[in-house]
Amino acid sequence: MILTIDCGNTSVKGAVFDGDLIILRRLFASPWDNISDLLEKYDIKVCISAVSEAGDGISEFLEKSGVTPVVINYRMKFGIDNALANPAATGIDRFCNASYAAFLSRSDCIVADIGTAITIDYVKMTAQGSVFQGGIIFPGPRLCSEVLHSHTWKLPIVDFSGKLPVVGTDTVSAIGSGLSHGIASLIDGIHSRIACENKTEVALYLCGGYAPVFKDLIKTPGIIIEDFNFKAIKHVYELNRTHI
């Protein structure tokens, strides 16, 4: 069994795989005590994708518990090459997502991860194989709303609620529309520009906490795979299993 742990910008989530089946999902929080029962109940390997310092805390806790986790880093195998200027400074979640999307599509693809931040990453298929080209990073819906509130006198924080009329009839609905239709248009526009620049069709994968909400707002046909991020971590773990 494999426990995949996704240490994101604002939360730490885990999923236990028995083969390809997820049998348990859980949110973790410092001091990480709610990992202990999983270690006692299951004979598991642990694989961590971390973009925050929480990864160090979990790794230390696991080591003290007698478990040596696999912490994904940019030097590991991802099944794709990369054209990045500085791979070491790139979020490891983006490597994992790009790797899994390329594995699924076997063609040019984009993976849009919509969470605290939005990453839209492009993998290009070449004669030599798939190459992670890079992408864009943008504030997520909640972060956009918080920044708008903190840098203005009267604009409130608006809880993102999904599909709204394009034209807002008051301040709250105008902000909500800006978040929903603005971000949907961002993803559509980036996808269109990448496809146009590369003169090819590009598959679109949507993941992250807001992906189900945006699926119906984005005009580009997008593929949502349940637990994409956990499956991406597991995919990278399996690519490196013989070298761990």
Question: How far apart are the C-alpha atoms of 150 and 141, rounded to whole Å?
Answer: 14
Q: Are domains 2-71 and 81-233 of this chain identical in fold?
A: yes
Q: What is the CA radius of gyration of the chain?
A: 19
Q: Mind listing the pLDDT tens digit for each residue in 99-154? A: 999 999 999 999 999 999 999 999 999 999 999 999 999 999 999 999 999 999 99
Q: Rounded to whole angstroms, what are the CA distances from 105 to 62, 100, 201, 219? A: 35, 9, 12, 19
Superfamily of the domain at 2-71 = ATPase, nucleotide binding domain (3.30.420.40)
* Residue 208 near residue 9 (C-beta atoms within 8 A): no
Report the alpha-carbon angle 134-140-142, nearest 5. Answer: 170
Nearest Cα to Cα of residue 12 among 25, 28, 23, 24: 28
The four Cα atoms 151, 152, 157, 160 give a dihedral, to 10 degrees, of -80
* Residue 163 CB coordination number (10 Å): 13
Nearest Cα to Cα of residue 11 among 136, 117, 88, 120: 117
Report the alpha-carbon angle 207-208-212, nearest 5. Answer: 70
Residue 33: the pLDDT is 83
* Structure-token match 């949507």, residue found: 206
Structure tokens at 194: 């990448």
Type and span of the H or E element at 203: strand 203-207
Range 34-62 average pLDDT: 92
Residues forming the active site: 93
| Positive or negative torsion for Cα 213, 217, 218, 224 | positive
- What is the DSSP secondary-structure string of 73-119? -TTS--SSEE--S-GGGS-HHHHHHHHHHHHHHSSSEEEEEESSEEE
Burial 96-129 (b: 16+ CB within 10 A, else e): bbbbbbbbbbeebbbbbbbbbbbbbbbbbbeeee
* Residue 228 CB coordination number (10 Å): 22
Would you kindly state where each structural domain of the chain is located, as residue ranges? 2-71, 81-233
Superfamily of the domain at 81-233 = ATPase, nucleotide binding domain (3.30.420.40)
Q: Mind listing the pLDDT tens digit for each residue in 151-207? A: 999 999 997 766 788 999 999 999 999 999 999 999 999 999 999 999 999 999 999
pTM of structure? 0.94
Q: What are phi and psi of 5, to 5 degrees?
A: -120, 125
Q: What percent of the chain has pLDDT over 70?
A: 99
Q: Is 47 exposed, middle or buried (0-12, 13-18, 19+ CB in 10 A)?
A: buried
Query: Over 80: is that where the pLDDT of 222 sits?
Result: yes
Residue 26: the pLDDT is 95
